[in-house]
Amino acid sequence: MSEQLMDGTQGGFETNRIRHVVSRFAYGPILLLALGVLWWGVDGGGPFSLGIVANSLYIFMLILIGALEFYIPYKQNWGTVRKASRADVLYFMAAAPIDYLHVFLLISILASTASYHHYVTVFDIWPSHTHILFQLLLVTLIVDFSKYWYHRATHEVPLLWRYHSIHHSLDRLEMLRASYFYPIDIFLTVAIGTLSLLFFGVDYEIIVFHNVFAGITGLLNHSNADLKCGFFDKFLNSPGHHRAHHSVGLPGSRSNYGSFFNFADRIFGTRYLPEDQSDFGPLGLEEGYNMPKTVLKQLAVPFRWNQVHPSPEADKSQG
Ligand SMILES: [Zn+2]
Ligand SMILES: [Zn+2]
């Protein structure tokens, strides 16, 4: 009996140690894997088209991050895909068609027209001849700065906060909720990134690379997997930064608007990450909001704002 107990304890110790190692070291390799596969896709992708490489990678990441939510949950009570509500599933499913619409409007129609380089590309200086990884870095920095200002505006401009508040009504984060956005919000987030790249005449493949990579970091930032970022916290807008962004009250709720890097937040003084990342307090909206829970009612929120946030003098954005 005691031997059995000892074995069990030892087994538990081993299992915990593996969990600890995964939690401590998985973040970097996941990003590198995504980067490597997309680089390969942009660089030719062997017999596969970039679309196949990108979609396969995205599906693989959904499975991997979903599995990590089970294996190393950040908060046991936040739940996993098992606790998904109907709204979680509907928003998640709506993300793909919204993204296709963005690709159709901005790439298939706008960027492929003959006049694109005359009218959309303002600075026709893109260094297409340089190494792909250098272009990817440049693209990520440009998009980070444009998305930073869009995201910050959705918090600071009351009219935009009417729809961005729906994303911030989440009281717990998990991968499936990475697309929990009012449709126009998610469309503009992606479209503003793409448009800023079109201004510089960036090639289509690089734009696809960036959008897929941003999608994967979005999954990571919203997941309930306990991925410690350590060194990466210094320059990336890691999951800890995004949990702080979703927390109730200051300074977290007015911080970390960036996407991939945290340089924009550092430059404009909005980066915030506490030393202790084990608990960011309650997440969601401040008291006084009556945010409905169903998708249909949430779609009406911007038009019925007084019912959601009745106090007019408090009609200021927050996060
Ligand atoms: Zn936000
Ligand atoms: Zn979020």
Structure-token match 């019925």, residue found: 304
State the number of CA atoms in the 13 A half-sphere of 91 facing the CB: 27
| Alpha-carbon distance values, 47 to 40, 53, 126 (Å) | 11, 10, 28
Strand ranges for the chain from DSSP E: none
How far, in Å, is the centroid of ligand 2 from the Cα of 246? 6
How far, in Å, is the centroid of ligand 2 from the Cα of 238? 12
Are 245 and 257 a contacting pair, CB within 8 Å? yes
How far, in Å, is the centroid of ligand 2 from the Cα of 259? 10
Q: What is the pTM of this model?
A: 0.87
How far, in Å, is the centroid of ligand 1 from the Cα of 6? 48
Residues 6+ apart with CB under 8 A from 72: 19, 22, 23, 225, 226, 227
Distance CA 68, CA 80 (A): 10
Per-residue pLDDT of the chain (319 residues; tens, 9 = 90+): 444 444 445 566 777 889 899 999 999 999 999 999 988 888 776 788 888 898 999 999 999 999 999 999 998 876 655 667 888 889 888 888 888 788 778 777 676 664 555 555 656 678 888 888 889 899 999 999 999 999 999 999 999 999 999 999 999 899 989 999 999 999 999 999 988 888 888 888 888 888 899 999 999 999 999 999 999 999 999 999 999 999 998 787 889 999 999 999 999 999 999 989 988 888 999 888 999 999 999 999 999 999 988 765 544 444 4
Amino acid at 92: F
How far, in Å, is the centroid of ligand 2 from the Cα of 242? 6
Distance CA 263, CA 270 (A): 10
How far, in Å, is the centroid of ligand 1 from the Cα of 212? 20
Distance CA 266, CA 271 (A): 5
